Amino acid sequence: MIENLEELDQIVKKCSKCNLCNGKTKTVFGVGNKNADIMFIGEGPGADEDKEGEPFVGKAGKLMNQAFIGIGITRENVYITNIVKCRPPNNRTPLKEEAKACLDYLRNQVMIIKPKIIVLLGNTALKNILGDEYGITSSRGKWIEKKEIKYMPTFHPAALLRDEGKKIDFWNDLVLIKKEADENNWKI
Ligand code: URA
Ligand code: SF4
C-alpha cells in the first residue's frame, strides 16, 4: 500500500496496466479533501475530464455540482473519483478487466482517505465495488454497510441527463447522505 495520495497519483500517471492508457490525454486520479468523510465514485473520465485531468467537470459533473449546492454538499469537503482513471474510448463502459486492473488504486485511495460514506454513482461503480449481484434500480436509495463503511448507491448523473424522471430519486438519495453526515458530524 502507498501511504499518500500524491505518490499514488504519480504512479497512476505512469500506469500501463490496461489498454485504456493508450487512448487517454490525462489520467484522472481524483479531487477533494484528503481526509474526506464522504467519497463519490463514478465510472470513468469523459472527454472533458480527460482534457482537464479532473473528475466530473463536464455536463454530468455540472449537474452534480448544482445538486450539491442545492442540498448543501461542498465539493471541496468530499472526495470525488472514478472506477477507472483513464478515459475509455467513446465513453464506453469500462471492461471488467480494465476495472479490475484499476481497482487496486481505488482501494488504496479508500485506505488513505478512510471515508465513512461511499456514494456509488451508477451501475459500474456499484457492481465493481459491491458485486455483480447488485443493480442500481433496486439498490439505489438504500444503505449497505460493509466493514464499517456505509455505501449509498444512486444514479449516475449522466443518467439524469438522459432521463429527467431520475432527478428526484437522485436528489432524495443525496438528501439521505446529507442527513446521515449531519447526524454523525461528518464533513459534507
Ligand atoms: N462520468 C464519470 O463517471 N466520471 C467522471 O469523472 C465524469 C463523468
Ligand atoms: Fe492503469 Fe487504471 Fe489507466 Fe488502466 S485505467 S492504465 S489500470 S490507471
Can you give the pLDDT at residue 165? Answer: 97
| pLDDT averaged over every residue in the chain | 98
Closest of 144, 157, 173, 161 to residue 71, by C-alpha: 173
Ligand 1 centroid from CA 80, angstroms: 10
Sign of CA dihedral 6, 64, 82, 140: positive
Q: pLDDT tens, 130-152?
A: 999 999 999 999 999 999 999 99
Question: Which pairing describes strands 31-32 and 38-42: parallel, antiparallel, or unpaired?
Answer: unpaired
Angle between helices 123-130 and 96-113 (to 10 degrees): 80
Which residues line the pocket of ligand 1, CB cutoff 6 A? Answer: 42-46, 49, 55-56, 58, 60-61, 82, 158
List of domains in the chain: 5-182 (3.40.470.10)
Looking up cell 486492473, which residue turns up?
Answer: 101
48: cell is 472533458
Nearest CA to ligand 2 atom 4: 18
Q: Which three cell numbers stand for residue 153?
A: 448507491
Confidence of residue 100 (pLDDT cuts 50, 70, 90): very high
At 108, the pLDDT band (50, 70, 90 cuts) reads very high
Lookup result for grid cell 478515459: 87
Looking at residue 18, its amino acid is C
- Helices 167-184 and 59-71, packing angle to 10 deg: 50
Ligand 2 pocket: which of 15, 28, 49, 104 to mutate (most atoms within 8 A of CB)? 15
Specify the 3-state DSSP secondary structure of 32: strand
Q: What is the pLDDT of residues 45-68, one digit of tens each?
A: 999 999 999 999 999 999 999 999
The pLDDT, as a whole number, for residue 159 is 98
Tell me, what's the pLDDT at 178? 98
Scored b (16 or more CB within 10 A) or e, 7-20 reads ebbeebeebeebeb
